[in-house]
Amino acid sequence: MAVSQSSQGGTQAIPLRIGFALALFVLLAVHFSPPARLLELNWLDLQFRLLRQVGPLRVTQEVVVVGIDDATVREINLPLATMHAELGGFLEAMATAKPRAVGLDVTLPQTSYDRLKPGLDAALLRGMLRLRNVAPLVLGVTVDAAGAARPVHQPFLTVAGREGVGYVLVQLDEDGAIRRFDERLGEGGAVVPTLAGQLARRLGVPVEYGLVQFALGPDFTYVPLREVLAMQAAGDSAGLARHFGGKVVMLGNVLPYEDQLKLPVRLAAWDKDRETTHGVLIHAQQMRSLIEGRIVRPAGEGIALLLVCAAALAWWLRPGVGGGLLLGAVAMAALVLEMYLLRQGMHVPLAWPALAAALAAASRAALEAWFATREKRWLRAAFAGLVSPAVLGEILGGRLQPQLGGERREICLLFSDIRGFTTLSESLPPEEVTRLLDRYFSRMVAAIHAHGGTLDKFMGDGIMAFFGAPQPRDNPCGDAFAAAQAMLAALAEFNRELATEGHAPLAIGIGLNYGAAVVGYIGAADRHEYTAIGDAVNTASRIEGLTKEAGHPLLVSRAVLDRLPCRDGFVPLGERAVKGRAAVEVYGWRPAPYAAD
């Protein structure tokens, strides 16, 4: 906008600096708010989902899930807490398969169940002892409602050993979803060994904390526990080795509606419609990330704050299409970069900085718009009485530049004056003449502006106006004729007012002509006006001068008449001599009733 050019000047430099400081403060404050945090988390989830679809990371070491499903429970027909013999059989099957490690996401009882059926504890302990000599085993333990460790029957813990026990605990984000692997879950940030963490330690894998890499590996399938037990019972050592040999194996519950937790992605290949996922799959994905060295390292809070500060610099982008496109391109590139870095193992939160940049730029644009509106309002108030609304609108819209010169336009010229004004002015005091002219001009100018005309100037009691500039008109002649009719109607009403005041009525003459003229700023560099010059202008003035002797208040040239949609009421008056040029064919029009002078 042309009027906002000064916004870069000294008068607005201080408001812009204050606005930037305020925007920076607000953006930094919002950075620590829950909405900004949730925005980053939701965008992170979307990235993980997109990466799983278009650029998943391949795994080199498989993690296999063995599931306790409905079919297994129906076949065994025992409560989970008493499946000691079946768990022992599973562990013996694993000893046959020779896996890399085994983790049990199954809560073992606090006491012995041998009183229910002798030999239950021995069956499980036998399987644990046999597997312990082949591969690391980690038992999953949990906590009670008060946060205290839930006890497990001591013989099981003794066989597993201290390093063979890990808590099946996870860290929840603000929205209740699990995105991180972090064992600092105890009071004051104390480390609580987890199932996945202990398995990694038993395998000699470095345990790093950060985001779980949910773009890693395909969706999980599972091998039903009943099938594992069937292979063991059948002595199918080759089948067991094929399924589990050299792999990390996680046993857990995959029963519907049990042990369901919220994740950014859906990991279960057998259940794509559910928004939540079984806990065993969470531990399995954590294990994948650890053994592949793919735990995602989050950028520090300091980097996040620097990014928000950098985003706030978008305040200084000049409002406009170019600035908007540049900002959009930078924001898009930043988000693509974030996804690339996430795939490489680093999370740099850029969703809120990208939005913050857009908000900063929008705030600057809003401030600029306010500056422009205020300046336009001031200009309109200051110059509304000096130029026509059409001219002022073009100036405020930046479409009419104040350089000297003009352009050739086809326009319709209107001239009018009051007949016998010299005699009238001699009979009245100057103050009363001025008041009378002000009242008269107010009505005439309103009629001109109402029909899209541009008032050029007042010449004593005369008026010069034109139609078709600065804004083009579909039919300048039709607009000019309608304005002339409105002027004569307004004059009749004004004369009725003058009659009640005891004043003599006024009579005017109006002349219209159509032709080419140069329209623009004419004059000196330090004093000029928006006007029209050319032969068509002079001819219009001469035609207006013929109105008194022609006996018609309105005369138009043939060029005007030919462009009117309706010619009713016009009287051909033939060619009339005009001063300084060849005769002009004119036509007269008067409202009815209208008494000729």
Domains along the chain with CATH numbers: 56-297 (no CATH), 397-589 (3.30.70.1230)
How confident is the prediction for the chain on average, in pLDDT? 89
In the block, tokens 């043939």 appear at 558
Residues 6+ apart with CB under 8 A from 52: 214, 215, 265
pLDDT value of residue 257: 79
Two tokens at 516? 């080419």
Measured CA to CA, the distance from residue 274 to residue 277 in angstroms comes to 7
CA angle 569, 570, 575 (to 5 degrees): 165
Residue-wise pLDDT for 326-377, tens only, equals 888 998 999 999 999 999 999 999 999 999 999 999 999 888 888 877 776 7
Contact assessment for residue 124 and residue 84, using Cβ atoms and an 8 Å cutoff: yes
Average of per-residue pLDDT across 377-390: 59
Contact assessment for residue 557 and residue 513, using Cβ atoms and an 8 Å cutoff: yes
Two tokens at 4? 């906002």
Average of per-residue pLDDT across 50-71: 94
Measured CA to CA, the distance from residue 553 to residue 555 in angstroms comes to 7
Measured CA to CA, the distance from residue 205 to residue 23 in angstroms comes to 46
Predicted confidence band of residue 428 (pLDDT cuts 50, 70, 90): confident
pLDDT value of residue 288: 97
User: Which phi and psi (to 5°) does residue 398 adopt?
Assistant: 75, 15
Q: SS3 sequence, 79-123?
A: CHHHCHHHHHHHHHHHHHHCCCEEEEECCCCCCCCCCCCCCHHHH
Residue-wise pLDDT for 217-244, tens only, equals 999 999 999 999 999 999 999 999 999 9
Two tokens at 108? 């073992």
Measured CA to CA, the distance from residue 361 to residue 320 in angstroms comes to 10
Predicted confidence band of residue 522 (pLDDT cuts 50, 70, 90): confident
- Helix-helix angle 34-54:351-383, to 10 degrees: 120
Average of per-residue pLDDT across 548-552: 90
Measured CA to CA, the distance from residue 22 to residue 367 in angstroms comes to 12
Residue-wise pLDDT for 304-319, tens only, equals 999 999 999 999 988 8
pLDDT value of residue 111: 87
Two tokens at 471? 């804004």
pTM over the 0.75 mark: no
Residue-wise pLDDT for 561-590, tens only, equals 999 999 999 999 999 988 777 889 999 999
- How much of the chain, in percent, has pLDDT values that exceed 70? 92
E strand residue ranges, 233-338: 248-253, 260-262, 276-278, 297-298
Counting every residue written for the chain, the total comes to 597
pLDDT value of residue 112: 86
Terminal Cα distance for the chain, rounded: 52
pLDDT value of residue 597: 43
Average of per-residue pLDDT across 534-552: 93
Residue-wise pLDDT for 244-257, tens only, equals 999 999 999 999 87
Measured CA to CA, the distance from residue 442 to residue 440 in angstroms comes to 5
- Cα of 25 vs its chain's centroid, Å: 21
Residues 6+ apart with CB under 8 A from 432: none
What single-letter DSSP state applies at residue 551? T
pLDDT value of residue 391: 64
Q: Report which residue type is found at 369.
A: A
Of residues 291, 263, 288, 289, the one with CA closest to residue 277: 263
Starting at the earlier edge strand, list the strands of the sheet with 101-105.
165-167, 137-141, 101-105, 248-253, 63-68, 222-224
What distances in angstroms separate CA 335 from CA 38, 198, 342, 467, one per listed residue? Answer: 16, 35, 10, 54
Q: What is the DSSP string of 198-232?
A: HHHHHTT-----EE--TTBS--B-EEEHHHHHHHH
Average of per-residue pLDDT across 511-515: 96
pLDDT value of residue 389: 62
Residue 7 has pLDDT above 60, yes or no: no
Residues 6+ apart with CB under 8 A from 55: 215, 343
Contact assessment for residue 142 and residue 167, using Cβ atoms and an 8 Å cutoff: yes
pLDDT value of residue 446: 94
**CB count in 10 Å sphere of residue 350:** 25
Residue-wise pLDDT for 81-110, tens only, equals 788 999 999 999 999 999 999 999 998 888
Contact assessment for residue 330 and residue 355, using Cβ atoms and an 8 Å cutoff: no
Of residues 479, 488, 467, the one with CA closest to residue 537: 467
pLDDT value of residue 237: 95
pLDDT value of residue 445: 93
Of residues 221, 263, 278, the one with CA closest to residue 106: 278
Measured CA to CA, the distance from residue 71 to residue 79 in angstroms comes to 13
What distances in angstroms separate CA 145 from CA 107, 149, 173, 260, 350, one per listed residue? Answer: 15, 10, 19, 17, 38
User: Which phi and psi (to 5°) does residue 298 adopt?
Assistant: -75, 145
